[in-house]
Amino acid sequence: MRARHTRPETHGSDDAGWLLTLALLAPIGALQLYDPFSLHWRSLLPPGLFVALLAAAAYVYRHRRPEPRIVAMVVGLQQMVLFTCLGILLSYMVAARGGAFWDASFHRWDLALGLDWRAYLDFVDARAALGTTLRLAYASLMPQMIVVILALGFAGRLLQLRMVVIAAILSGTAAILISGLMPAMAYFVHLGLGPQDYPNLHPAAAFVHQEHMLALRSGELRFVSFETMEGIITFPSYHAALAAIFAWGFAHAHAAIRWPGMALAALTLLATPIDGGHYFVDVIAGIALAALGLWAASLLALLERPGWALRASPSRHSHAASAR
**Residue 3 pLDDT more than 50?**
no
Indicate if the pLDDT at residue 309 is higher than 80: no
Q: Would 314 be classed as within a structural domain?
A: yes
The answer to whether position 182 is within a domain reads yes
- Looking at residues 68-77, what average pLDDT do you find? 96
Q: What is the mean pLDDT of residues 33-53?
A: 93
Q: Is the bond leading into 236 cis (omega within 30 degrees of zero)?
A: yes
Q: What is the mean pLDDT of residues 127-152?
A: 97
112 assigned to some structural domain: yes
Residue 2 counted as domain residue:
no
CA–CA separation, 87 and 286 (whole Å): 16
Range of the domain at 314: 9-322
pLDDT digits (tens, 9 = 90+) for 193-225: 999 999 999 998 888 889 999 999 999 999 999
- Pairing label, strands 223-224, 38-39: parallel
SS3 letters across the chain: CCCCCCCCHHHCCCHHHHHHHHCCHHHHHHHHHHCCCEECHHHHHHHHHHHHHHHHHHHHHHHHCCCHHHHHHHHHHHHHHHHHHHHHHHHHHHHCCCCCCCHHHHHHHHHHCCCCHHHHHHHHHCCHHHHHHHHHHHHCHHHHHHHHHHHHHHCCCHHHHHHHHHHHHHHHHHHHHHHHHCCCCCHHHHCCCCHHHCCCCCCCCCCCCHHHHHHHHHCCCCEECCCCCCCCCCCCCHHHHHHHHHHHHHHCCCHHHHHHHHHHHHHHHHHHHHHCCCCHHHHHHHHHHHHHHHHHHHHHCCCCCCCCCCCCCCCHHHHHHHCC
∠ CA 211-213-217, nearest 5°, is: 120
pLDDT band (50, 70, 90) for residue 72: very high
CB 156 within 8 A of CB 68: no
Between 13 and 292, residue with greater pLDDT: 292
User: Chain-wide mean pLDDT for the chain?
Assistant: 91
Q: Average pLDDT of 269-288?
A: 98
Q: Is residue 296 part of a domain?
A: yes
Beta-bridged to residue 39, according to DSSP, are 224
Residue 96 is predicted with a pLDDT of: 95
> What integer pLDDT is reported at residue 2 of this predicted model?
40
Name the residue with higher pLDDT: 232 or 307: 232
The pLDDT-based confidence of 305 (bands split at 50, 70, 90) is low
Q: In the chain, what percentage of residues exceed pLDDT 70?
A: 91
Least confident residue range of 41-45, 51-55, 205-209, 253-257: 205-209
Number of domains within the chain: 1
Stretch 169-185: mean pLDDT, rounded?
A: 97
Average the pLDDT over 231-241 and give the result: 96
Residue 3 lies in a domain: no
Q: What is the pLDDT of residue 10?
A: 65
Q: At 166, is the pLDDT very low, low, confident or very high (cuts 50, 70, 90)?
A: very high
pLDDT band, very low/low/confident/very high, at 306 (cuts 50, 70, 90): low
Q: Is residue 4 part of a domain?
A: no
How far apart CA 322 and CA 10 sit, in angstroms, is 10
Region 166-190: mean pLDDT is: 97
In a domain, 36, yes or no: yes
Q: What per-residue confidence (pLDDT) applies to 148?
A: 98
* pLDDT tens string 153-164: 999 999 999 999
pLDDT higher than threshold 90 for residue 308: no
